[in-house]
Amino acid sequence: MAGPAQVTVTVDRARCMGTGICVEFAPGTFAHDDQAKAIVLSPSDDPTDIIASAVEACPTGALHLGPEEPEEPEGSEKREEVER
């Protein structure tokens, strides 16, 4: 049996408007900081499909999910890996 998969969740803080949709969808993965910008919590308590729904629901496209690390835009939060 294979071990847990690793996914990478990235927040582009320059694009984040702080709508809170990600926090509503996946409160075990996302929170807001002092500037009302999304941050990634680690370890996550949310299943990967819930995290993916939060990423897709982001109105600004500030969230990214994938097995590989995408190119990091300036102002992005440090990537955090969440074990699944």
Task: Give pLDDT tens digits for 26-60.
Answer: 999 999 999 999 999 976 789 999 999 999 999 99
Mean of pLDDT values over 2-13: 76
What are 44's two structure tokens?
């996550």
Contacts of 48 (CB under 8 A, 6+ apart): 5, 7, 84
**17, pLDDT greater than 50:** yes
Residues 72 and 13 sit within 8 Å (Cβ to Cβ): no
pLDDT of residue 22: 97
In terms of pLDDT, which residue wins out, 72 or 9? 9
Edge to edge, the sheet with strand 6-11 lists 63-66, 6-11, 80-83
Q: Which residues contact 34 (CB under 8 A, 6 or more apart)?
A: none
Topology given in CATH for the domain delimited by 6-83: Alpha-Beta Plaits (3.30.70)
Q: Is the pLDDT reported for residue 70 higher than 50?
A: no
